[in-house]
Amino acid sequence: MSTLLRTPLYDEHVALGGKIVPFAGYDLPVQYKNGALKEYTAVREGEAGLFDITHMGQVRIEGKEALAFLQYVSTNDVSKLVDGQVQYSALLNEQGTFIDDITTYKISDKAYYLCINAANRHKDVAHLQQQAVKFSVTVTDDSDGTTLLALQGAKAQAALQALIDIDLESIAYYRFARGKIGLNGSTSGGIISRTGYTGEDGFEIYIPNSFAVSMWKALLENGAVPIGLAARDMLRTEMGYALYGHEISDAVTPVEAKLMWITKLDKSDFIGKQAVEKRKGEGAKKRLIAIKLTGRGIPREHYKVFVGGVESGEITSGMYSPMAGGVALAYVKPEHAESGAITVEIRGKQVSAERTTLPFIRSNVRK
């Protein structure tokens, strides 16, 4: 059994009463002493929540053919990016199914930065490096030296502004800036992006590991509330954001996952393009839908979904939302995606549900 990794903030989590659990190869806090519900509420009701997401991977792509390389390995149209812009995208295999979903940061025509999922880090890097031999480009894994924090909620900007020399007001949604961070008499470069995984306004902060503890403490002193994995999952599920291993995996294509909006079939060839085109022509093998319980219960991952009394699929992510009740994402048979009475099997009983639209609650991201 392999030893779990720890982020530079592990001791801070323990000191704050964090309940540590294994996640994506790391020891991470699932919640702190006040509980996940209060953490969730802090983010949704006007505070600033602080998340340690250093387990995510960070990869630099550099070279004269960086754009051509990313156009080939990722699904979205990287040529549409301007310097300082972020793009949601995906890496596919030749079968058109997901290796990972990613965010792409354009620094310049010859330099990009990717944020990848923790559990897929080594697989992703190996895939990118294997493909890079066809291009004049280098792929560098910066993950071990980089701390990544997410600061989310209405007071995020106020909590962060005094610590950096970047005018946060000037950073639009899915844009980023590079600047100096000053802490305890020292300064360092960092990347600040107006992005997140919660549906609230906020930022993701990339800094060297040497600044991790001082930045964490400074943000807490400025009013931020530490948030664990459980509340983070509640927040992302309410938005209907996909999570690798749940809504996306190497078993589904963007056609099934309702992610054709990040899959640009009109651009030049990319890995998996032909397979996705074929699947689109054939039709999805299953379809992802959003449902809300109308009966009592809490929908959980892998609970069976029935349509018209016939087993049709299962839940990929589900929860009790304090604002929306029992909500879930689920894959069902294509013929059941839009019509038919839905129930979810909970503890041997059929609980009624209905189809709905995403997000389950209003998003407050700044656009």
pLDDT in tens, 324-355: 999 999 999 999 999 999 999 999 999 999 99
pLDDT category of residue 367 using cuts at 50, 70 and 90: confident
pLDDT in tens, 235-248: 999 999 999 999 99
Residue 184: the pLDDT is: 72
Question: CA end-to-end span of the chain, whole Å?
Answer: 45
Could you read off the pLDDT of 257-268 as tens digits, one per residue?
999 999 999 999
| 1 has a pLDDT exceeding 60 | no
CA angle (262, 266, 269) in 5-degree steps: 90
Query: Tell me, what amino acid is at 58?
Result: Q
pLDDT, position 185: 67
| Residue 2 pLDDT greater than 60, yes or no | no
User: Do residues 74 and 124 touch, judged by C-beta distance below 8 A?
Assistant: no
Mean pLDDT (whole number) for 276-301 = 97
pLDDT over 60 at 211, yes or no: yes
Strands (E), the chain: 19-23, 26-31, 49-52, 57-62, 86-92, 98-108, 111-116, 138-141, 146-152, 176-183, 186-193, 202-208, 225-226, 287-293, 304-307, 310-321, 325-332, 342-346, 349-356
pLDDT score of 192: 97
Mean pLDDT of 153-182: 94
Q: Which whole number is the average pLDDT over 226-238? A: 98
Query: What's residue 182's pLDDT?
Result: 75
List the single range of 72-76, 166-170, 182-186, 307-311 with lowest mean pLDDT: 182-186
Could you give the domains of the chain? Answer: 1-283 (3.30.1360.120), 286-360 (2.40.30.110)
pLDDT of the residue at 180: 87
Amino acid 213: pLDDT? 96
CA 220 to chain centre: 23
Whole-model pTM over 0.85: yes
Average pLDDT over residues 177-198: 87
User: Cα(355)–Cα(108) distance, rounded to whole angstroms?
Assistant: 43
Question: In the block, which residue shows the tokens 């809490």?
Answer: 298
Structure tokens at 149: 């924090």
**pLDDT tens track for 16-41:** 999 999 999 999 999 999 999 999 99
The whole-chain average pLDDT of the chain stands at 96
